[in-house]
Amino acid sequence: MALEDFKFPTDNLSKTLLFLKEAGNLKSIIRQTFLKNEERFENSGEHSWHLILMAICLQKHANQNINIERVIKMLAVHDLGEVYYGDTFLYAVERSDASGEEKDALLTLIENTPEKLKTEITKLWVEFEASETPEAKYAQSLDRFQPFMEQLDNGGDSWKRHNITHKKALAKNKHISEGSKELWDLYQNLATQAEEKRYFHLEKEDS
């Protein structure tokens, strides 16, 4: 009793649908973001939707004129490598090596899709990772700001669990300013308030 029991035609439509079903497993990839209202950790599927909605609603706060269609498409595919590779926490030490393996995982996931689609998805994913175009920079800034709002709501859950200080959070997220200076100004304002509320891990006095 499974999708594999069905006979799909061997055309491009079916190939694409079978990939899309597999891609849906992104709903099982659990992130470090604790959703207070939901009383559980966020998954990468719903995270991707939330970023897309943010991209649409915050477009005028991007630094530059952007092609919103490409931003949204990037956000829709930016985590697909996780289906086979899993999520890497922003602050993880091994994160700098993750991109290559995540790309391999992406290529495995899309290997049976039609050539044109394969090229499109790969290009979007690479553009997001490279973070050089205005669209990618804006998308990346949303990818950082969305979990930040959840941390403000849940009392800094992942900052405390992973010993993230105020200073470290600012250093790791300052490139939000490359996508949206307005978002980065607000980030700093709210992070100062969070520090006063002791949401961050506290730095040792002698360090």
With contact defined as beta carbons under 8 Å apart, do 183 and 58 qualify? yes
Contact window for its own copies (CB under 8 A) among 97-105, 127-135, 144-152, 159-167: 144-152
In Å, how far are 48, 147, 204 from 157, measured between CA atoms? 21, 11, 19
Contacting its own copies within 174-203 (CB under 8 A): 182-183, 186, 189-190, 193-194, 197
Contact window for its own copies (CB under 8 A) among 94-102, 130-138, 148-156, 159-167: 148-156
Contacting its own copies within 23-82 (CB under 8 A): 23-28, 35-38, 42-43, 45-46, 48-50, 52-54, 56-58, 61, 68-69, 72-73, 76-77
Q: State the alpha helices, DSSP H only, in 63-175.
A: 68-77, 82-85, 95-109, 115-130, 134-154, 157-161, 166-173
Please enumerate in sequence order all residues whose Cβ is within 8 A of that of 30, keeping only pairs 6 or more positions apart, or say none: 41, 42, 43, 44, 87
Nearer to its own copies, 69 or 206 (CB): 69
With contact defined as beta carbons under 8 Å apart, do 71 and 83 qualify? no
Minimal distance, residue 192 CB to its own copies, in Å:
10
Nearer to its own copies, 23 or 169 (CB): 23
Work out the number of other CB atoms within 10 angstroms of the CB of residue 163: 12
Please enumerate in sequence order all residues whose Cβ is within 8 A of that of 130, keeping only pairs 6 or more positions apart, or say none: 136
Figure out which of the listed residues 105, 107, 126, 152 binds its own copies, where binding follows CB under 8 A.
152
Minimal distance, residue 90 CB to its own copies, in Å:
18
Minimal distance, residue 133 CB to its own copies, in Å:
17
CA gap 181, 187 in Å, rounded: 10
- Residue 90, both tokens: 């922003």
Interface positions with its own copies (CB under 8 A): 1-3, 5-9, 13-14, 16-17, 19-21, 23-28, 35-38, 42-43, 45-46, 48-50, 52-54, 56-58, 61, 68-69, 72-73, 76-77, 113, 117, 121, 149-150, 152-155, 182-183, 186, 189-190, 193-194, 197
